[in-house]
Amino acid sequence: MSASPEMRQAEDREQIRSITRRWRQEGQKIALVPTMGNLHDGHLALVEAARLEADRVVTSIYVNPAQFGAGEDFESYPRTLDADRQALEQAGCDLLFLPAHHTMYPRGLENSVRLLASPDLAASLEGNSRPGHFDGVVTVVARLFNLVDPDIAVFGEKDYQQLLVISRLVHDLGYGIRIVPVPTVREAGGLAMSSRNNYLEPEQRRAAGELNAVLLEAAEQIKHEALDPTLVERAAAASLENLGFRVEYVAIRRAEDLGMPGAADRQVRVLAAAWCGETRLIDNIEVNCVGI
């Protein structure tokens, strides 16, 4: 699909609706790539996927306070707007949506209407480690969907649980939006690209790639050896601890809904969250197995 020669910018509700309304009147298909900025190649892969799917690409940059818990890094989250804007222009983004807090939450976050993520998807794993996180995610994503009204929305598989939560949001609330997942983009050492990788010291960054290596080993064990998932989880967690990680969880779950996999399940995910120094990392691996 062709992109416009110059990226436009919208900052409030009237601007974003005016631009996207005109595109829809012209019969153009719109894709949305929601981000919190500090863009890297993983984000740009989402923009590239969006360009293949739609006539116009909107990328939002908004650091959403509703998805940060007490003691998390909302204030210190990397903000690199000038570099982000340049990267998006080069990637062929048509419109940068850069809302202020009052655009997203007109009466302030404390007085805003909020959504609750589906408990069966949101309460475990990341939801257990970060209570209320996915409620904040669905609250802001629904607002972005309402303002942009895209035909397509693109999300990365690195945040796999988030991808499922948002897919459920779209289905449950009846949005006419197709969710496009994009595989995780990795650094040379296997580390999944993330804005929080910037917190890592050089030695930590090299060591952090071992998280992916351990998950790949666990995936191979499940795929070829059909071992007890609980035993594989424990072994992977122990390997990570021996490598110096502080492990929150290693979990083998059914890919469809993060339920416990059974003998008939063929599509599963190995998911993990672990700390490397003061940086929290998440990752997951797709597994197509012969049965568990």
Query: How many Å apart are CA 100 and CA 291, to the nearest integer?
Result: 48
**Confidence (pLDDT) at 140:** 98
**Confidence (pLDDT) at 73:** 87
Q: What are phi and psi of 258, to 5 degrees?
A: 65, 20
Instruction: Kindly list the structural domains of the chain, giving each domain's residue range(s) and its CATH number in brackets, ordered by start.
Output: 8-182 (3.40.50.620), 195-286 (3.30.1300.10)
**Confidence (pLDDT) at 291:** 54
Query: Which residues are known to be catalytic?
Result: 43
Mean pLDDT of each 10-residue bin along the chain, 292 residues long? 72 98 98 97 98 98 94 89 97 98 96 97 96 97 98 98 98 98 96 93 93 96 82 97 97 96 90 96 91 54
